[in-house]
Structure 1
Amino acid sequence: MKNETTPSVPLIDISELIRKGSGQSEVARQIGSACREYGFFYIAGHGISTALQEQLEALSHDFFNRPESEKMRIRMELGGRAWRGYFPLGDELTSGKPDLKEGIYFGEELPEEDERVQAKIPLHGANLFPEAPDSMRQVVLEYIRRLTELGHHLMRGIALSLDLDEHYFSDRYTADPLVLFRIFHYPSREAHAGLDAPWGVGEHTDYGVLTILKQDHIGGLQVKTQDQWIEAPYIPNTFVCNIGDMLDRMTGGRYRSTPHRVLNRTSSGRFSFPFFFDPNFSVRVEPIDLEHLGPLPEKHQDRWDGADVHAFEGSYGDYILHKVSKVFPQLKRAVD
């Protein structure tokens, strides 16, 4: 039973932000409070249709219920520098340990003639879609399009929450964002019974500025706040948002990139749909002058991995390639 003093991730209705209504400043205030206190918040009033979400879930169940041999026809090794496609259970690492999940990586669909593809910029290119279910391509690309729009709205809200011009991030970092989308399937508790590391995903932070996560009804997400882990359960027709390392760096730690993890304790498979709305691959990520907000917060506890995002210098591409090459070390040669 939950203790009354246990903190919980706040839920914010962002409908006024979406329509640029008179209440968007209050939405921005709530976003700022959540980013300082938790680094996480739920959103309602986001405008993403339930029909699209239900289609995405149904197609995902269809695909992951298929034989491994069929899923491997779009394996990540075939995606090359674009880093797209399917990976089987245990192939993705967190802090050097295999995650108990399988999944598909997607991104912005780019044709061969796109200048970024021609320039061989990593993480840019065409997606790998399965032959069946045959409608997955259409639904995934529509979902990416709609979540990209939502990402722009939320970054306006984050800018306003910092008393910046609403276009601050789009002018400098996200006019042409790096958008990455994943579908993850976590097996039932029976599938990891007796294993030493039963985490679907171990403790980690996200890399960029903003993650927009669709959970299914199973739940299992846990967020580290202060010195305790709290549940971030499924709430119908909401998304869970969290900020990443680059926004932590930009804000000098005012907005925290919070560690989180996943454990499926049920006898059913769990699905999650994280969408990453990140800075342009080539842009250099710099701290923002936020002296108008007062002194920097006290330093939070050291990260589990010993990293310091505030010591990083370079482009977002430098940062994400370093991180992703640890997640899939066998694919690193594709971008070397």
Structure 2
Amino acid sequence: MCSIFNEKTVEGDDDGPSFATSLPVPNVQEMVMRDPLEIPERYLRNKEDMPKSAHNTSHLSSQIPVIDFSSLTQGNQEELMKLDLACKDWGFFQVINHGVASEVLQGMKDAAVNFFELPLEEKNKISMPPDDIQGYGHAYVVSEEQTLDWQDVLMFIVYPRRYRKHRIWPTKPTEFNEMVEAYSSEVKRVAEELLGSISLAMGMEKRTLQKMHKEMLQALRVNYYPQCPMPDNVLGLSPHSDTSSITILMQDDNVSGLQIRHQREWVLVKPIPNALVVNVGDVIEIWSNGKYRSIEHRAVTNDTYTRLSYASFMAPSDDVEVEPLDHMADSQGSFQMYKKVIYGEYLRESMKRRMEGKAYTEMAKIEG
């Protein structure tokens, strides 16, 4: 296999890797502006396809773990145990006291809102190219018959810097790139510390997982979910697990929409002001031999408010081999549950498919 790493590549030469294609589809934000009551048939879900509502699971929402990042990084063993249980029992947790300044968080939000308020012709200047899902558009559209998600997205690689394709980075608003830089560098710091703590929780030296991400791939996806006149008939984002190691998400403080599958129920992740939501990705699931599981999650819409979310996907290098770590299988007294995969191949193959729960992760399991 040829690695996507090329030491001759320099920041800004637009010669970074491509990942997958996505068919062009109508812009949802523009549809809502033209007719707030219109929902094209291609966005409507059959009742049997709509997962059970999360309206009656508020008691579970309050149980989603909250991790004090400051205590965790200072070596607090009780907080480390909470992290272990969060990864094992939930696959999701919220992080407080992470040290990212509120001005940085708000600056990223303001810049994104200002981008999506630009005229469509301005946003289309950075439309997703035919060979990639970086840029502005609608990702993971792989067939003409596919039911679509009620959203528009802006997505690009932030790190390594030399992977940045500046032709699909916004030039307006003028502060956008500066805000992305400030926000993403802080998210990277938080991710590296969390990987260190997860290493400890898995019974390894702190730097073990950090070394396995020696040149961490970090992608930023800004999701824009317009209000919808029939929110019970559409989904903002189809149920899926993430192909990352971990994902760090910033939510709007006042608009809910993220739901996770827990105990066969859909549970709303209620925003905590200035907190970051973290979830286990497929890579950690495989490395931990299933002790920690990447969890299905989705986004729902509402009929009153537009909602934005900001997902940073943290992953290993393209050529890293991912398979269960020996001691994880031994410590659980079980056999190896997953095949060895090359991360770049795993990532790209998953992107050729529509989002469909845990279907792709299941394909990585060893039959028997």
What residue in structure 2 maps to residue 301 of structure 1? none
Q: Deviation digits for residues 195-247 of structure 1, max 9, x if unmatched?
A: 95x10001100002100000002111111012111111111010111001111
* Alpha-carbon spacing, 1:292–1:327, altered in 2? closer, same or farther (3 Å): closer
What residue in structure 1 maps to residue 68 of structure 2? 13
TM-score (norm 2): 0.74
| Aligned partner letter, 2:109 | E
What residue in structure 1 maps to residue 51 of structure 2? none
Question: Shift of the alpha carbon at 1:159?
Answer: 0.6
Equivalent in 327, 332, 346 of residue 294 of structure 1: 332
Q: Deviation digits for residues 55-80 of structure 1, max 9, x if unmatched?
A: 111111111112221110011117x5
Question: Is 1:151 the equivalent of 2:203?
Answer: no
Task: Confirm or deny: 8 A CA contact 1:177 1:281 kept in the other structure.
Answer: no
* Alpha-carbon spacing, 1:64–1:6, altered in 2? closer, same or farther (3 Å): same
* Alpha-carbon spacing, 1:312–1:94, altered in 2? closer, same or farther (3 Å): farther
Q: Distance in 2 between matches of 1:133 and 1:223?
A: 33
Question: Is 1:325 the equivalent of 2:352?
Answer: yes
| Aligned partner letter, 1:151 | A
Question: Is 1:62 the equivalent of 2:114?
Answer: yes
Question: Is 1:87 the equivalent of 2:137?
Answer: yes
- For 2:352, what is the secondary structure of its paired residue? helix
| Aligned partner letter, 1:38 | W
Equivalent residue runs for 1:1-336 within 5 Å: 6=60, 8-18=63-73, 21-23=74-76, 25-77=77-129, 83-88=133-138, 92-93=140-141, 96-108=146-158, 114=162, 124-127=163-166, 128-171=168-211, 173-190=212-229, 193=230, 196=233, 198-216=234-252, 217-289=254-326, 290-291=328-329, 293-296=331-334, 310-326=337-353
Structure 2 gap ranges (5+): 1-54, 356-368
- Count, aligned residues: 295
Q: Deviation digits for residues 82-132 of structure 1, max 9, x if unmatched?
A: x421115xx544994321111111212667xx5xxxxxxxxx332422221
| Aligned partner letter, 2:209 | F
Task: Confirm or deny: 8 A CA contact 1:32 1:161 kept in the other structure.
Answer: yes
Q: Distance in 1 between matches of 2:329 and 2:299?
A: 36
Q: Deviation digits for residues 272-292 of structure 1, max 9, x if unmatched?
A: 000111111111112112256
- For 1:131, what is the secondary structure of its paired residue? coil
| Aligned partner letter, 2:262 | T
Q: Distance in 2 between matches of 1:97 and 1:266?
A: 20
Which piece of structure 1 moves more, 4-13 or 250-259?
A: 4-13
| Aligned partner letter, 1:209 | S
TM-score (norm 1): 0.81
Question: Shift of the alpha carbon at 1:189?
Answer: 2.0
Q: Distance in 1 between matches of 2:113 and 2:95?
A: 25
Task: Confirm or deny: 8 A CA contact 1:94 1:204 kept in the other structure.
Answer: no
Question: Shift of the alpha carbon at 1:326?
Answer: 2.8
Q: Distance in 2 between matches of 1:136 and 1:66?
A: 12
Q: Distance in 2 between matches of 1:187 and 1:94?
A: 22
Q: Deviation digits for residues 3-25 of structure 1, max 9, x if unmatched?
A: 6863631111110234xx242x3
Q: Distance in 2 between matches of 1:94 and 1:211?
A: 23
- For 2:186, what is the secondary structure of its paired residue? helix
- For 1:76, what is the secondary structure of its paired residue? coil
| Aligned partner letter, 1:61 | V
State, as a whole percentage, how many aligned pairs show the same letter. Answer: 25
Task: Confirm or deny: 8 A CA contact 2:323 2:339 kept in the other structure.
Answer: no
Task: Confirm or deny: 8 A CA contact 2:57 2:268 kept in the other structure.
Answer: no
Q: Distance in 2 between matches of 1:61 and 1:4?
A: 29
